[in-house]
Structure 1
Amino acid sequence: MAFSLFTSKNRIINLVINDHSIRFLELKQTNPPGAQKWGERLLPPGIISNGKIIDIDSLANILEECIDDWKIQRRSVCFIVPDQLVIIRKVTVPAEIQDDEMKGYLYLELGSSIHLPFEEPFFDFFSLSNNGKTKDLLLFAAPEQHVMEYAELFTSLKLNPIAADISPLALYRLFHGLGLANQNEKLIIVQIDLTHVNLCIFEDSVPVIMRPFSLPFNLDQWDIKRGSVDMLELQFIGDTDEMVIQFEDIFKELLKILDFYRYSLSSEKQDVSRFLLTGDHPMLQAIVNEMKERFEVPVDLLSLDDKLHGKTGSMPANFLLSLGLALKEVK
């Protein structure tokens, strides 16, 4: 699933923009595909909040500088819709509705049989089951206003936005592409970034529930410097008790979504069979270690066995989401 805008295959750039950073990655057209080049820029607080653009002028100025620095002028762009904007819902529709008629039907049902917490959604769907009378769909939706703000920003800077994706699907695409997925698996992707967390449970390759939430972030509590390959390196210098509280909050939310899945969504009351952790949080390994102590379910950290090399050196783990997004262009 991806929110398609229009089609182009001309030297695609993959952008991941969140509350604290801008990252780009260009795919190397090899077999298997790899990363050609990448880069990142830290965003000051207050420009984007909970995925919504707050200061469009400042973001435009920073992005324009990035475009020049990274030499990606006039390129086609795929981008990630911020997790905080995305909703996944299971809906049931009459079986006679054909796929080419589905979007029109769903638009008509918005506000009556289908309720979303925002008007004018930007959405796509994925077909699940069909019993002859009805069929179940997964509806992926986001507020059109906020998604188009990103697309229009790119266009104003002479980039060509061609598609938008969501982070759980991009991460699962990479996970599957690395040959790590198992059949009939109940997997929860735990994506922990510097300013937010996204939890998403997959049944086989289908995301069935997603829960994003924000993390407190104070830039003054972090020491930031450029690493050996010109990537940002952050080290926490604040009160360690505050970080412990953040970790505990993450574990509480994780238990909540696991209980909800166990007793509400899964008809057979099944538990997840594996945790897959990823994200750009500098203390991710410490979280992995703590989860291995707390949970009996296997805990894996998404990583590449062989480091990818491109024009800018070895690809950091912060770019795994960008790489998963880029793999969408590989058919």
Structure 2
Amino acid sequence: MRFGLGLFNKKRINLIIQDHVIRYLDMRQPELLEVKSSGERYLPEGIIQDGTITDRETLLTILEECVEEWGIKGREVQFLIPDSKLVIRKHHIPSEYKVEEIKGYLYLELGSTIHLPFEDPVFDYVLLETGEEKKEILLFAASEQMVNDYSTLLTSAKLKPVVADASCVALYRLIYLKQLTSEEDHTLCLQFDIPAIQLSVFHNHKPYFFNHLKLEMDYKSWNFKHHSTGIQQLQWQGDAGFIHGLVEDKLLEIDRIINYYKFTINNGQQGITKVIISGELPELSYIQDRLKSKLNVPVLLLDQSDQQLPSQFDVVLGLGLKEVQLC
């Protein structure tokens, strides 16, 4: 399972830049989840807003400090497309097109049968099903300008960006490696982070659905506890009832998406069979308990017992598995 937006594959480090944090990972043996080094740096509010870099100068200064502190100057880097800027949707193409012809066909269809919210897309796809008359694909697309904004930022910080990836695919690589899902499962993957929830559904080890749910929380109510290891712990200092209420609101949205997946996407024939939860929110156990009370399927927390890093690094670990042939 490989997804990349058009650059070459080589030994590299892994970096994610989100609205609120930069995380880095260098893996010694990815298939064993053996970490060589790691680091994270939480960002001041407003430098990146909903995936858009709004204060490039400050962000570059912070990134340069991280590059120096982590000793990664000159390294090749794979990074993630901001989830809020990624378009993932199903599309049908005529069956007569061979695999090597699909990308060319997709470029020809831009603006006619394929409509995207930007004019300069870079994209890749996953082949879902092949019928007698049509092939069904899942199209991953992002703005070339946005990808270039992040690429040039990394280059300015003396790094060498080589491939862009999607967080939902990165997370599923880790889930697959841990053997938490099967080909028959319809697995709902939930990544709970401070700014948003990333929601994706995988079947046959392929992504079939993706959504991005924003979380409106007061950034100043989070306390980022620093540790000598470079790994930080989040503590919510606001009203506990507020964050529980926010989670409950989002669980209602997730429930609607689960019903949409079963009754609209699968015509009532097949629903979610498993839920796997990860992320940086301290409330993951509470979320697991609430989902268990609502759903008649297994609800699992992504187990950290066999890895060196806490759950906020799950997506970065999955990104580091890109070199490993998993599925």
Fold-level match, TM-score > 0.5?
A: yes
In the TM superposition, 1:144-223 aligns within 5 A as 144-223=144-223
Q: Does 1:6 align with 2:7?
A: yes
Structure 2 letter corresponding to 1:85? K
1:326 aligned residue (294, 301, 320)? 320
How far the C-alpha of 1:203 sits from its partner, in A, is: 1.4
Deviation, structure 1 residue 145: 1.4
| Whole-angstrom distance in 1 between the partners of 2:31 and 2:241 | 47
* Cα 1:30–1:216 shift into 2, 3 Å: closer
Which residue in the other structure is 1:312 paired with?
none
Look up the equivalent residue of 1:300 and give its one-letter code: L
The answer on whether the counterparts of 1:86 and 1:140 sit within 8 Å (CA) in structure 2 is yes
Once the two structures are TM-superposed, the CA of residue 33 in structure 1 deviates from its matched residue by 4.7
Secondary structure in structure 2 of the residue aligned to 1:321: helix
Residue type at the aligned position of 1:206: K
Matched residue pairs, number? 324
When residues 128 and 225 of structure 1 are mapped into structure 2, their CA distance, relative to the original with a 3 A threshold, is closer
Partner of 2:88: 88
Distance 2:98 2:45 in 1: 45
The residue type paired with residue 176 of structure 1 is Y
- Secondary structure of 1:3's partner? coil
- More displaced 10-residue stretch of structure 1: 296-305 or 193-202: 296-305
Determine the C-alpha separation between the residues in 2 that align with 1:268 and 1:212: 23
Match of 2:261 in 1: 261
Superposed displacement of residue 128, structure 1? 2.1
Distance 1:31 1:192, change over 3 A: closer
Q: What TM-score do you get using the length of structure 2 for normalisation?
A: 0.94
- How far apart, in 1, do the equivalents of 2:134 and 2:184 lie? 24
1:21-32 alignment, distance < 5 Å: 21-29=21-29, 32=32
CA distance in structure 1 between the partners assigned to 2:222 and 2:289 by the alignment: 22
Q: Which amino acid aligns with 1:21?
A: V
Question: Aligned partner of 1:59: which letter?
Answer: L
TM-score by length of 1: 0.93
Identity %: 39
Q: Which blocks of at least 5 consecutive residues in structure 2 are unaligned?
A: none
Q: Distance in 2 between matches of 1:303 and 1:52?
A: 32
Do the aligned partners of residues 164 and 31 (structure 1) sit closer, same or farther apart at CA in structure 2, a change above 3 Å counting? closer
Contact 2:5 2:123 in 1 (8 A): no
Correspondence for 1:114: 114
**Deviation for aligned residue 1:115:** 1.6
Q: Which moved more, 1:263-272 or 1:203-212?
A: 263-272
Could you say what the CA RMSD is over the residues aligned between the two structures, in angstroms?
1.7
CA offsets 1:41-73 (integer angstroms, 9 cap, x no match):
001111111111111111111100000000000
The C-alpha deviation readout for 1:69-124, integer Å capped at 9, x for no partner, is 00000000011111111121111112222222222211111111112222211210
Does the aligned pair in 2 maintain the 1:196–1:212 contact within 8 Å? yes
Counterpart mapping for 1:60-75 below 5 A: 60-75=60-75
Residue ranges of structure 1 left out of the alignment (5+ in a row)? 309-314
User: Which letter does structure 1 place at the counterpart of 2:3?
Assistant: A
In the TM superposition, residue 5 of structure 1 has moved relative to its aligned partner by 3.6
Task: Report the alpha carbon displacement of residue 303 of structure 1 after superposing the two structures with TM.
Answer: 1.7
The residue type equivalent to 1:15 in the other structure is: L
Q: Distance in 2 between matches of 1:119 and 1:289?
A: 43
Cα 1:30–1:283 change in 2 (3 A) is closer
Determine the C-alpha separation between the residues in 1 that align with 2:258 and 2:119: 29
Question: Could you tell me which residue of structure 2 aligns to residue 311 of structure 1?
Answer: none
CA shift digits 1:150-171 (9 cap, x unpaired) = 1111112221111111111111
How many angstroms does 1:3 deviate by? 2.2
Aligned CA distance change for structure 1 residues 31 and 100 (closer, same or farther; 3 Å): closer
